[in-house]
Amino acid sequence: QVQLVESGGGLVQPGESLRLSCAASGSSFSINVMGWYRQAPGKQRELVAAITKTGSTNYADYADSVKGRFAISRDTAKNTVTLQMDSLKPEDTAVYYCYARTRIPGGTYDYWGQGTQVTVSS
C-alpha cells in the first residue's frame, strides 16, 4: 500500500514558476513509476510527466504541451518526486495529481494523491 501527498500548488501569474512535490510512504520500495497528471474542469485527466524505472535506468516522459518548460525528477532515497514548472501559462491551470505504479508478483497497482490546485492567472 502506497500513500501519496502533494504540495506546492498555488496561484501564480503567467511566466512565473511553481515547484510541486510528492512524498510517497508505505510500500514505496515497490514503486516503478512516479509522475504527475493534471485535470482541468470539464476535461479529462492527462499525463504531464512521468519517470519509469527499469533496473537502474530512469526514463522520463513529458506531454508535448509542457516539454521544455517542466522538469520531473525523483529522489529515491527520500521517496519523493518533484515537478519543476517554469514559464507557466493560463492553460496550465488544473488540479495536479501525483501518480505511482507498483509492480509486484501479485500484480500491478496504481495510486493517486488527492491533488493540488495550480492556477495561472494575471
pLDDT at 46: 97
pLDDT for 38-83, tens place per residue? 999 999 999 999 999 877 788 999 999 999 999 999 988 888 999 9
Query: What is the per-residue pLDDT for 6?
Result: 96
| pLDDT for 32 beyond 80 | yes
Angle at 5 between CA 33 and CA 91, to 5 degrees: 80
Beta strands in 8-79 (DSSP E): 10-12, 18-26, 31-39, 46-54, 57-62, 70-75
> Could you report the per-residue pLDDT of 96-112, keeping only the tens digit for each?
999 999 988 888 999 99
Reference 88, options 5, 6, 35, 9; nearest CA is 9
Query: Is the pLDDT at 29 greater than 80, yes or no?
Result: no
Regarding beta strands 18-26 and 46-54, do their DSSP bridges make them parallel or antiparallel, or are they unpaired? unpaired
